Amino acid sequence: MRYSLFGESHGPAIGVVLQGVPSGLALDMEFIRAEMARRAPGNSPLATARSEKDAVRIVSGVFEDRTCGTPLCGLIENTDTRSRDYAATRYLARPGHADFTAHLRYGGFEDYRGGGHFSGRLTAPLVFAGAVAKLALRQKGMEIFARIRETAGVEDAPLDLARPDVEALRAAGRKSFAVIDDARGEAMQKAILEARAEGDSVGGVIECFALGLPAGLGSPDMDENIETAVARHVFAVPAVKGLSFGSGFGFSSMRGSEANDAFVPGESIRTRTNHNGGINGGISNGMPVVFSVVIKPTPSIAREQDTVDMRTGEAAKLVITGRHDPCILPRAVPVIEAACALALSEVPGVLS
Amino acid sequence: MRYSLFGESHGPAIGVVLQGVPSGLALDMEFIRAEMARRAPGNSPLATARSEKDAVRIVSGVFEDRTCGTPLCGLIENTDTRSRDYAATRYLARPGHADFTAHLRYGGFEDYRGGGHFSGRLTAPLVFAGAVAKLALRQKGMEIFARIRETAGVEDAPLDLARPDVEALRAAGRKSFAVIDDARGEAMQKAILEARAEGDSVGGVIECFALGLPAGLGSPDMDENIETAVARHVFAVPAVKGLSFGSGFGFSSMRGSEANDAFVPGESIRTRTNHNGGINGGISNGMPVVFSVVIKPTPSIAREQDTVDMRTGEAAKLVITGRHDPCILPRAVPVIEAACALALSEVPGVLS
Amino acid sequence: MRYSLFGESHGPAIGVVLQGVPSGLALDMEFIRAEMARRAPGNSPLATARSEKDAVRIVSGVFEDRTCGTPLCGLIENTDTRSRDYAATRYLARPGHADFTAHLRYGGFEDYRGGGHFSGRLTAPLVFAGAVAKLALRQKGMEIFARIRETAGVEDAPLDLARPDVEALRAAGRKSFAVIDDARGEAMQKAILEARAEGDSVGGVIECFALGLPAGLGSPDMDENIETAVARHVFAVPAVKGLSFGSGFGFSSMRGSEANDAFVPGESIRTRTNHNGGINGGISNGMPVVFSVVIKPTPSIAREQDTVDMRTGEAAKLVITGRHDPCILPRAVPVIEAACALALSEVPGVLS
Amino acid sequence: MRYSLFGESHGPAIGVVLQGVPSGLALDMEFIRAEMARRAPGNSPLATARSEKDAVRIVSGVFEDRTCGTPLCGLIENTDTRSRDYAATRYLARPGHADFTAHLRYGGFEDYRGGGHFSGRLTAPLVFAGAVAKLALRQKGMEIFARIRETAGVEDAPLDLARPDVEALRAAGRKSFAVIDDARGEAMQKAILEARAEGDSVGGVIECFALGLPAGLGSPDMDENIETAVARHVFAVPAVKGLSFGSGFGFSSMRGSEANDAFVPGESIRTRTNHNGGINGGISNGMPVVFSVVIKPTPSIAREQDTVDMRTGEAAKLVITGRHDPCILPRAVPVIEAACALALSEVPGVLS
């Protein structure tokens, strides 16, 4: 399965074409709508007030409620766009955004309104595509759960990488603030609201588990490697700046005697620990695939910022108005799950 | 430029085919040999005693000392192989290695000797390919420098991500232990030798800078995105378990007002800080491309480990003999540089 | 530039996503509509009476009438669908169509109505995509012209492959029956109408010229080879069963002394003849790129045909009702031009 | 399975890297050598006297006589190279060859000796790769047979496309001149020798059958379409200028009532005729995959030819000395089979 996103934040519509979808998949629209709702804005005081309906119209690839096997296109009309918010500051590059790089890359022809194609809004069709991928993976016994592991300096309860508490993960995914430990979640939300009150924003870390992936899939080759597949998809998500598997950057202060996951006998061979995050040499080993993703603080903040006018090259002050999340993590949880589902769906042997 | 590695640790030869090499590139063999030497074993008490010459024979793509533009194949004969080291433990999966996953993936037909195709030895042709890429990038004004940022709990001196000390980086690359601050480097080496004395190994973090990349290259699309390009190449390197750009996982405890790199006027528009590691929206912004890579502790350790016999599924004890690095980082520095050079060479517009 | 088609003949909509479109391209909608009209049904007694408007709605990738450089999605709603025409014969595979292979490939979940995704109707978004590619190529001085070279046993006047009459080609493209010699064109149309009167259909050959392609683009590598690029795109067009370059199958009865295109001096080096169709070793030589494509007779014919019920495996008789072209060539001319334009747009260096 | 060829005709070595080879495949070296011998020069008065041994050294991807599943590199040393044959005419572009286009493409840095990377000699590793692919396909019940269908104006006996005489095909492949009807084969050889006597060369058509491909593989998408897969591989073979499936260019003078292959009941659904060459909509239909390839006359002929000096742009006369086949078809038969085998091996589902 491969996807192509299209659309600009304030253009007519955004959407996605999914190729390689297995035929005969029953499209559980209830599930798909629920996934879209997890990412949708307007759910909480932490999120932007923009109230897109994000209703996906499936225009191809589905017949009599099942996938046909041909390309599936999902379309989301843009209905609640207030472009005037952006025109005045067209040439003032917003720090932390892609305005400046897009301006260079596209020679000034980019649709600058609301970040255009770089907008977080493009994660809506991504979540839709991910929901289709999840349905395909579910048929094969795989499930994906992400949660907020850390934000604004507050950490959620740790999970056993080798044998995580699946019910706790499942429950977290249903919360509007996806953590295991609600007390810590409240501390996080308090810190986020403090940042917002100061006209600021925060970043954080999302941890994602893929359960049920059979052992022996993937390859050391970078075109079929599970780690590179996840990386390709995760780094294509706006605001992601880092990815690590298993114990990740924690390996730096570990010793081999701890980091090596000892093999243990059983119905099938498993490992005692899962520091390697379920992957060795780019191939799944039958343990949960676990990875962490760092999300940078929302670049759109209320404070005045230093910038440059891209036409004149002169220094300027910028105040971003409009509606923005002080912390993108709650809405990014289903996005990272979607990226994971799409990445795994691409690995030969996972769906076929 | 794209590469295909081939070869097994104890097979007849290993090598690489490079496609898309620009024609007319003078192959500075002195430089290439120096690069190979930086990765070669046997240079220090920290490295394996295996003394491969790693002499690369170029069998195609070069004519009268310059590249022809057609595929360039570099071949390294395997001469110093002691396969008997491995036969006795063929079915005992080494923890932390890919023995078990390869066994499943290839149905028991994998060349198990010394890790076969998964061996760190395959990084020799990778460094060769990277050296060719570096020569091509150098013609366009780009340079790549990596260094050991952290190992065994000891950190090297920090560098300014926006305006790093290039001469210090260049000097670090020439050292057998690539750090900026030699006192800290000695502390690291001491810690590594302590681990080795205890039959153990350590991991660490390598930080890599790519300087001179023009602004406006790359794309948000995952097939042309600079972050995904680096990720694809870096996660294909054995033992890499994490990658982050700029401030990386540090973004988790930052606020937007700090994380946003303010734009400043000048001959060309630049940013004051470089928390984003030179990339916004998958596109270069003209600042140094900076990323960090975590390398797990060498899985081959002298201590006895718990494992399973892959034939019988029964518990077993494994003692790995043979020659192994207690810390792979010193030799991994040029490998990460090579991965970076090859990744950038693949981005449209960088070489053409 | 790469494209992804989506849609089924009787689904909600069909369309295309174009990636890699150069930014800043002025979308000449008049030209695009004219191109669409060349392919549209209902223009002549030779074509189906289905009267789709084929109005393309551009939902992304265009801002203020110019391309932004981000993916361009064009959508065509399906409005004139009479699905009841197809339901009765759902399991009777139409000979010469992809009903049977689609049924196997998609496990019976294919949208069978009107050929679903395999319908010639999908060439509408292809022509749209080709029109965008033509605009991009035109900016670089390239033009593409195709014509009906042969149908129903009647041949159009030959053209000099090396120095074709460009004005005659241009004029042919504007005719509803795209030939150079109108007398021969009338003979062709007479033969087509005879076939239709007998409840039958005919095939033919389209010849396509790409003018202005600079010399030295392409590669012997199959991923960048101009001949394989054209082949990939042309064989993806429904009903195409053969492709040849330059003198094509005529080479079989030629000798080397005739087939070799002698080089002649001039402002730039050219060849006297153009039997090789402008390409040597997968690389353009500066002469016109010329290729011929054979289109099989329209499989939908009015006569009763032998088939099999795909559910029961039993023999059956099939009579295809509905609206069908007795000869698809007139409408296929802009489709082959589109495939050519998209193929060339994919070759590195052509657009960038 | 994907391949990357490397090497120049007069460089140190030529070879191929094959990725995606199934593991556990027993490499029947007798078969591989026999395949190589079918293509090797020096077998007959029709072929060049160059006597390369073409011995392939497998340097990776094979362990204990079976494939490991990791990239398989086969290397052929160049031993019989007489480079002085070429130096004097370095800048005189040989008509019909890629000298001129390579010169432009690679900026004068190409290895010009004997055509460099464009040499027909590169078909040696291609046949090796094809032999490995054939072994993999054979395990799945597929076989590939090609034959000379026409050369120098003489045609071989026709074969039933739907139910070809497999034993006649098998026997043809074992002949040094691969035809069904030996009398016609002798007439062909006589015509070839006449052309040679006149310092000239001839072209022709090769017809290839792939038997045993299961129905329902492939896709209309150009990345998985069987026709585009074959086209990609076949047009990457030097001297190929055309490709058609089934009745090919014959469709131009056929009517739909003849061209449509009627379905007939049976153990599995088959078609009565096979004008479509076993493929509908890019998907296999269970009938033999049949295609024809036109090969142009050998460009290297003994006669004096008109050319241009690429340095000065001035007219020149060229006499090609050295050893050349007056007709490449006999040696091209296994090359086309190899391209077919590699193309089918790439189609998802064929090998996995």
- Rounded to whole angstroms, the Cα distance separating B300 from D323 reads 56
A330 HSE (CA, 13 A, CB side): 24
Could you tell me the CATH number of the domain that includes residue A84? Answer: 3.60.150.10
B59 vs D contacts (CB less than 8 Å): 6-7, 11-13, 15, 75
pLDDT category at D236 given cuts 50, 70, 90 is very high
Find which of A76, A109, A118 to mutate to test the C interface (most C CBs within 10 Å of its CB): A109
Amino acid identity of residue B253, one-letter, is: S
pLDDT category at A88 given cuts 50, 70, 90 is confident
pLDDT greater than 90 at residue C66: yes
- The nearest alpha carbon in chain C to D5 belongs to C221
State the pLDDT at residue D105: 98
In the block, tokens 């994998």 appear at B110
- CB-CB under 8 Å, B256 with A235: no
Find which of C260, C268, C270, C279 to mutate to test the D interface (most D CBs within 10 Å of its CB): C260
Write the DSSP string, D5-48. Answer: EEE-TTSSEEEEEEESPPTT-B--HHHHHHHHHHH-TTSSTTS-
Taking CA atoms, A130 is separated from A233, A338, C59, C65, in Å, by 11, 4, 22, 32
Closest-CA distance, C348 to chain B, in angstroms, reads 9
Average pLDDT over residues A297-308: 96
Query: Is D265 an 8 Å CB contact of chain B?
Result: no
pLDDT greater than 90 at residue A49: no
Find which of C219, C345, C350, C351 to mutate to test the B interface (most B CBs within 10 Å of its CB): C219
Q: Which two tokens stand for residue B308?
A: 């399973």
Phi-psi region of B160 (alpha: psi -120 to 50; beta: other; left: phi over 0): beta
Which of D100, D249, D265 faces C280 most closely, judged by CB atoms?
A: D100
Which of B17, B58, B63 faces D17 most closely, judged by CB atoms?
A: B17
State the pLDDT at residue B169: 98
D264 vs C contacts (CB less than 8 Å): 306, 308, 315
Closest-CA distance, B65 to chain A, in angstroms, reads 30
Query: Is D306 an 8 Å CB contact of chain A?
Result: no
pLDDT category at A54 given cuts 50, 70, 90 is confident
Which of A227, A238, A264 faces B308 most closely, judged by CB atoms?
A: A264
Q: For residue D127, what is the enclosing H or E element?
A: helix D123-139
pLDDT greater than 70 at residue D249: yes
pLDDT category at D87 given cuts 50, 70, 90 is confident
Q: Which two tokens stand for residue A79?
A: 């209905």
Q: Does A115 reside within a domain? A: yes
- CB-CB under 8 Å, B220 with C70: yes
Distance of CA B135 to the CA centre of its chain: 17
Q: What is the total residue count of chain B? A: 352
Q: What percent of chain D has pLDDT over 90?
A: 91
Cβ pair D293, D243 in contact under 8 A: yes
Average pLDDT over residues C254-282: 97
- The nearest alpha carbon in chain A to D352 belongs to A349
Q: What is the pLDDT of residues B209-236, one digit of tens each?
A: 999 999 999 999 999 999 999 999 999 9
Of A38-42, D56-60, D66-70, D285-289, the least confident: A38-42
pLDDT category at B165 given cuts 50, 70, 90 is very high
- Rounded to whole angstroms, the Cα distance separating B23 from B136 reads 10
- Rounded to whole angstroms, the Cα distance separating C128 from C57 reads 10
Query: Is A216 an 8 Å CB contact of chain D?
Result: no
Query: Is D298 an 8 Å CB contact of chain C?
Result: yes
State the pLDDT at residue B323: 72
Q: Which two tokens stand for residue C86?
A: 């197809």
Residues in CB range of D238: below 8 A, 6 or more apart: C220, C281, D98, D118, D119, D120, D122, D123
Find which of D219, D347, D350 to mutate to test the A interface (most A CBs within 10 Å of its CB): D219
CB pairs under 8 A between A and B: 318
Closest-CA distance, A326 to chain B, in angstroms, reads 9
Average pLDDT over residues B138-142: 98
- CB-CB under 8 Å, D153 with C313: no
Chains that touch B (3 or more CB pairs under 8 A): A, C, D
- CB-CB under 8 Å, B116 with D63: yes
pLDDT greater than 60 at residue D49: no
State the pLDDT at residue C83: 59
Q: What is the pLDDT of residues C300-341, one digit of tens each?
A: 999 999 999 999 999 999 999 877 899 999 999 999 999 999
Residues in CB range of B131: below 8 A, 6 or more apart: B31, B32, B35, B36, B338, B341
Of A76-85, A305-314, C46-55, the least confident: C46-55
Query: Is C287 an 8 Å CB contact of chain D?
Result: no
Write the DSSP string, D50-85. Answer: -----PPEE-SSEETTEE-SSPEEEEEE-----THH
Q: Does C203 reside within a domain? A: yes
pLDDT greater than 70 at residue D95: yes
D349 vs A contacts (CB less than 8 Å): 352
Taking CA atoms, B208 is separated from B149, B235, D212, in Å, by 9, 14, 52
Closest-CA distance, A139 to chain C, in angstroms, reads 16
Average pLDDT over residues C92-116: 96
Q: What is the pLDDT of residues C194-224, one digit of tens each?
A: 999 999 999 999 999 999 999 999 999 999 9
Q: What percent of chain C has pLDDT over 70?
A: 95
- The nearest alpha carbon in chain B to C71 belongs to B221
Query: Is B314 an 8 Å CB contact of chain C?
Result: no
Average pLDDT over residues A113-135: 97
Query: pLDDT averaged over chain C?
Result: 95
- The nearest alpha carbon in chain A to D222 belongs to A19
Average pLDDT over residues A265-284: 96
Which of B14, B17, B69 faces D105 most closely, judged by CB atoms?
A: B69
Task: Note every long-range contact of C163-166, with CB atoms under 8 Å and residues 24 or more positions apart, other chains counting.
Answer: C164/C209, C164/C211, C164/C288, C164/C290, C166/C211
Average pLDDT over residues D333-344: 98
**ipTM of this predicted structure:** 0.96
Find which of A18, A23, A221 to mutate to test the D interface (most D CBs within 10 Å of its CB): A221
Amino acid identity of residue C24, one-letter, is: G
pLDDT greater than 90 at residue B41: no
Which of B6, B23, B57 faces D107 most closely, judged by CB atoms?
A: B23
- CB-CB under 8 Å, A352 with D220: no
pLDDT category at A82 given cuts 50, 70, 90 is low
Average pLDDT over residues B11-40: 97
Domain that includes residue D249, residue range = 2-345
pLDDT greater than 90 at residue D140: yes
Which of D205, D227, D307 faces C252 most closely, judged by CB atoms?
A: D205
Closest-CA distance, C69 to chain A, in angstroms, reads 6
Chain A from 172 to 201: CB within 8 A of any B CB: 195, 199-201
- CB-CB under 8 Å, D6 with B69: no
The sign of the dihedral angle between the CA atoms of A155, A160, A166, A168 is negative
Q: Does B250 reside within a domain? A: yes
Query: Is D275 an 8 Å CB contact of chain C?
Result: yes
Q: What is the pLDDT of residues B71-84, one digit of tens each?
A: 999 999 998 666 56
- CB-CB under 8 Å, B244 with A294: yes
Taking CA atoms, D326 is separated from B218, C256, D199, D236, in Å, by 49, 9, 8, 21
Chains that touch A (3 or more CB pairs under 8 A): B, C, D
pLDDT greater than 80 at residue C33: yes
State the pLDDT at residue A81: 61
- CB-CB under 8 Å, A5 with C58: no
Q: What is the pLDDT of residues B273-330, one digit of tens each?
A: 999 999 999 999 999 999 999 999 999 999 999 999 999 999 999 999 877 899 999 9
In the block, tokens 């070279």 appear at C149
State the pLDDT at residue D175: 95
The SS3 call for residue C204 is strand
Q: What is the pLDDT of residues B43-56, one digit of tens each?
A: 666 665 555 568 99
Of A29-38, B35-44, D229-238, the least confident: B35-44
Cβ pair B254, B273 in contact under 8 A: no
Q: Which two tokens stand for residue B6?
A: 């081939």
- Rounded to whole angstroms, the Cα distance separating C231 from D234 reads 10
In the block, tokens 């076989």 appear at D143
Closest-CA distance, D2 to chain C, in angstroms, reads 11
Q: Smallest Cα–Cα separation from C270: which of B299, A208, D282, D308?
A: D308
β-strand partners of C98: none
Look at strands B154-155 and B143-151 and give their pairing.
antiparallel
pLDDT greater than 60 at residue D112: yes
Taking CA atoms, C311 is separated from C90, C307, C314, in Å, by 10, 12, 8
- CB-CB under 8 Å, D299 with C259: yes
Which of D19, D221, D352 faces A19 most closely, judged by CB atoms?
A: D221
Q: What is the pLDDT of residues A12-27, one digit of tens each?
A: 999 999 999 999 999 9
Of A320-334, C288-302, D8-22, D287-301, the least confident: A320-334
Q: What percent of chain A has pLDDT over 70?
A: 95
Q: What percent of chain B has pLDDT over 90?
A: 91
Average pLDDT over residues B124-130: 98
- The nearest alpha carbon in chain D to A352 belongs to D349
How many domains, in total, are found in chain A?
A: 1
The sign of the dihedral angle between the CA atoms of A231, A235, A236, A240 is positive
Query: Is C99 an 8 Å CB contact of chain A?
Result: no
Average pLDDT over residues B13-34: 97
Of B318-327, C38-47, D41-50, D87-96, the least confident: D41-50
Q: Does A352 reside within a domain? A: no
Query: pLDDT averaged over chain A?
Result: 95
Query: pLDDT averaged over chain B?
Result: 95
A70 vs D contacts (CB less than 8 Å): 220
Which of A71, A221, A348 faces D19 most closely, judged by CB atoms?
A: A221
Q: Does D351 reside within a domain? A: no
Cβ pair C351, C140 in contact under 8 A: yes
- CB-CB under 8 Å, B100 with A269: yes
C251 vs D contacts (CB less than 8 Å): 203, 241-242, 294-297
Q: What is the pLDDT of residues D157-208, one digit of tens each?
A: 999 999 999 999 999 999 999 999 999 999 999 999 999 999 999 999 999 9
β-strand partners of A317: A306
Query: Is B311 an 8 Å CB contact of chain D?
Result: no
State the pLDDT at residue A52: 52
